[in-house]
Amino acid sequence: MKEIHDVLNNALVLIFNLVLKSEEKFIRNLGVNLSIAEIHTIDAIAKVEKKTMSEVASNLSITLGTLTASINNLEKKGYVERNRSQVDRRVVLVNITQRGEDVVEQHRAFHKEMIKDIVANLNTREELALVKALDNLIDYFMSKK
């Protein structure tokens, strides 16, 4: 089944790029002074339990140095704030501000709408095939570690 593999590969590559562009466009339309990386950083802070620099950096798979630079900017722009932990003064706790919360909310709404529209066009069989294929994909990557 050489052809179906090629079709799938092309579709996946295309979708990958379309998702990226779609998200870029969403941010542009948000009219907010943030990059995709910054939105994902804010989002990671929102969803991580222990809001330390280390935890957030590890969640994002970036180094602490990179996160420090990014948080400097986000703090300056008013989307997050830093506080020294009182328990261990080496530790820095990051929290998102109300302005940050708003962005997280809108980013999640974007994802929700995207998924809603995707599923809307699928019948039950297609939905199941998609879920199964995605499971395979995840298994595949997980096994590759």
Partner DNA sequence: TGAAGATACTTTGATTATCAAAATAATTAT
Partner DNA sequence: ATAATTATTTTGATAATCAAAGTATCTTCA
- Tokens (6 digits) for 2: 């050489």
| Smallest separation (angstroms) from a copy of itself to the CB of 19 | 7
Q: Are 70 and 12 in contact (CB under 8 A)?
A: no
Measured from the CB atom, the residue of 18 and 128 that comes closer to DNA is: 18
- Tokens (6 digits) for 124: 């039950």
Under the criterion CB under 8 A, does residue 36 sit at the interface with a copy of itself? no
- Tokens (6 digits) for 13: 């590559």
* CA separation for the pair 2, 27 (Å, rounded): 38
Q: Which does 117 bind (CB under 5 to 8 A by kind): DNA, a copy of itself, none?
A: a copy of itself
Q: Contact positions toward a copy of itself, by CB under 8 A?
A: 1, 4-5, 7-9, 11-19, 21-22, 25, 61, 111-112, 114-122, 125-142, 144
